[in-house]
Structure formats: structure tokens, C-alpha cells
Amino acid sequence: MPSFDLVSKVDVQTLDNAINVVRKEITNRFDFKDSHVVIDLNKKDFKLSLEADSEMKLKQIIDVLISRGMKQGLAAEAFDFSKTPFVSGKVTKQEVPVRNGIKQDDAKKIVKLIKESGLKVQAAIMDDIIRITGKKIDDLQAVIQASKGWELGIPLQYINMKS
């Protein structure tokens, strides 16, 4: 039976490359000359630590991060900007977790959306992967097209397509 896996993964090397490009661009910008800027990536926990002189500069760093990340192939939804920045002394800091993997409640929501679509496929949750199987590849492709319209807030990738 044809099947594919629905995942939400961020490649560490791609993320690291995007962060390095952001650092280089920020240090070369005139409006950031002689200002305090820290962009750190914790590869183990998938967290970014951003520091800047003001909230406005922090927002500019975030804009550069999203645009350069998208050019590297990272979806904008991979970065979780829900935590508000906080002021610590003279600098404004923000912790930005990078979404990696599908959480259990998001996986249940995706399976529910697949079942509501009325397509003749089965979805099984396996840790942070959802395996979707069906009798026809056309049904699987219909699930992929339908999933592109869902507003889940997480980036989705489609891997291991087997016929």
C-alpha cells in the first residue's frame, strides 16, 4: 500500500547556516554599528537567544532572521515568537524556540483534519511522525494538497513516499 510520512523537522545545519548569515548581515548593517547584538543558537535545545539595545532593533533582527531563514529553506512557522521580549538592564532579550517535531496535540488535530477531509486514507501517529497510508497514490497526493491549506502554525514536510 502506498504511504508517506508527515513530519515537522528543522535541519540543524540549515538552521546554523541561516543564523550565521543573519549574524553577518547584522554586523555589516550601518544602523547596527556600535550596538550590542547577540544571536546565539543552542543546537541541543533548538533555542535562539536574541539580545539588542532596543525592542526596535530586536524586531529588525527578527525580520532579517525570517527572511534569511526562508532563503535557506526554513519555514517562518519554524520560529516561535510567542514569548514577549523582556528588558534586562540596558538590553532587550528574547528567547525564540525553534519548533522541531510534531507535538501530540498537533498530531491529533492533523489526524482529525485528515479524517474530516473524507479521503480514503488511514493516519497513524508514531512519536513525532504521522504515517499516512491509502490504496491509491492519488488519495495521498490529495492529502498533501489539503494539508497545504491548513493553518496549524507548524511547518510540514512530506517524506518517505512509497508506492
Print the domain residue range for 57: 12-97
Same domain, 76 and 106: no
* pLDDT one-digit tens code per residue, 7-28: 999 899 999 999 999 999 999 9
The DSSP H or E segment spanning 39 is: strand 38-42
* pLDDT one-digit tens code per residue, 19-53: 999 999 999 999 888 888 999 999 999 999 999 99
Confidence of residue 57 (pLDDT cuts 50, 70, 90): very high
Task: Give, in order, the Cα–Cα distances in Å from 154 to each of 38, 99, 110, 121.
Answer: 26, 7, 11, 22
* pLDDT one-digit tens code per residue, 77-105: 999 998 889 888 889 999 999 988 899 99
Q: If you average pLDDT over residues 143-158, what whole number do you get?
A: 88
**Rounded-to-10 torsion of CA 65, 68, 70, 72:** -120
Does 128 score more than 90 pLDDT? no
Q: Tell me which of 79, 97, 115 is where a domain ends.
A: 97
Same domain, 121 and 152: yes
Confidence of residue 160 (pLDDT cuts 50, 70, 90): confident
Q: What is the CATH number of the domain that holds 122?
A: 3.30.70.860
pLDDT at 123: 92
Instruction: Identify the CA nearest to 156 among candidates 10, 12, 14, 6.
Output: 6
Count how many domains the chain has: 2
